[in-house]
Amino acid sequence: MRRSAACLLILGLTACGGGTAGVTPPVTQPVATPTPTATPNPFAAACGSPLPPFADSYGYGVKVQLEPSRQVKVLNASPQVRSVEYCAAAGIGGIVCNTRFEDQPQRVPCDHYLSGISDTGRPGPNWYQEVNGRRLRCGGMGLPEEAPNCTLKDSNQYLLDVSAGGKYIACGGAGSPGTCGSCTLDQDDFGVVHASPAGLCRLSGD
């Protein structure tokens, strides 16, 4: 009896029979950090299937879209895909093709998907003029004018006003494969309006 009473008096802090009772701290389970959900690309969803593969991005086909005056030409850049399988699935055929036929509603979002976002914040390519081996940025839409003979169009990132001969380059923006295409114009091409200006661009090594 005395031994039992002594055990009750120490309120269980000392184990009966001698020694100190061990206290087990609670175990805290680590909280798993949730994996952020990837934001779907809205251009991919609007483009649909087939989706242009980044691995088959083949730069841009650049042509003179029109000549509003003798001293100004408007270049147009279209992203290209080099894939027999993709071109067939898009119904275009060939080895290299546009993302879709021009009159299809998927053409614009497919082009945006392959081109990414330019430095202006608009979908489409970044434009440059090559001067003495350096790529100078074509200005406009909030970008400083580094290049002397090109200006971005307010209406469309895929279009560029040029006012002199030279080499002009379109390259994919952020979120794109970053491939490029170019158009080289002769100074003799200016000062006249051509009946069919689309074939004025010459290709040269990037």
Tens digits of residue pLDDT in 132-177:
999 999 999 999 999 999 999 999 999 999 999 999 999 999 999 9
Q: Is residue 12 part of a domain?
A: no
Looking at the chain, the whole-number percentage of residues with pLDDT higher than 90 is 78
pTM: 0.80
> What is the per-residue pLDDT for 27?
59
Q: Which long-range contacts (CB under 8 A, 24 or more apart) does 83-91 make?
A: 83/53, 83/56, 86/50, 86/52, 86/53, 86/56, 89/49, 89/50, 90/50
From residue 154, give the alpha-carbon distance in Å to each of 88, 162, 181.
34, 14, 21
Specify the number of domains making up the chain: 1
The whole-number average pLDDT for the span 19-31 is 59
For residue 5, tell me if it sits in a domain: no
Q: Is residue 60 one of the residues assigned to a domain?
A: yes
Domain housing 124: 42-199
pLDDT of residue 2: 46
Please say if the pLDDT value at position 4 is more than 70.
Answer: no
Q: Does some domain include residue 35? A: no
Structure tokens at 200: 């004025």
The verdict on residue 170 lying in a domain is yes
Q: Which residues contact 46 (CB under 8 A, 6 or more apart)?
A: 106, 109
Residue 25 or 171, more confident: 171
Residue 158: count of CB within 10 angstroms of its CB: 25
The amino acid that residue 33 corresponds to is T
Query: Does 8 map to a domain?
Result: no
Q: Is residue 126 part of a domain?
A: yes
Question: What pLDDT shows up at residue 40?
Answer: 74
Please list, in sequence order, all residues whose beta carbon lies within 8 angstroms of the beta carbon of residue 136, skipping any fewer than 6 positions away.
Answer: 128, 129, 130, 146, 147, 148
Average pLDDT score over the chain: 88
Q: In this structure, how many other beta carbons lie within 10 angstroms of the beta carbon of residue 10? A: 10
Residue 24 placed within a domain: no
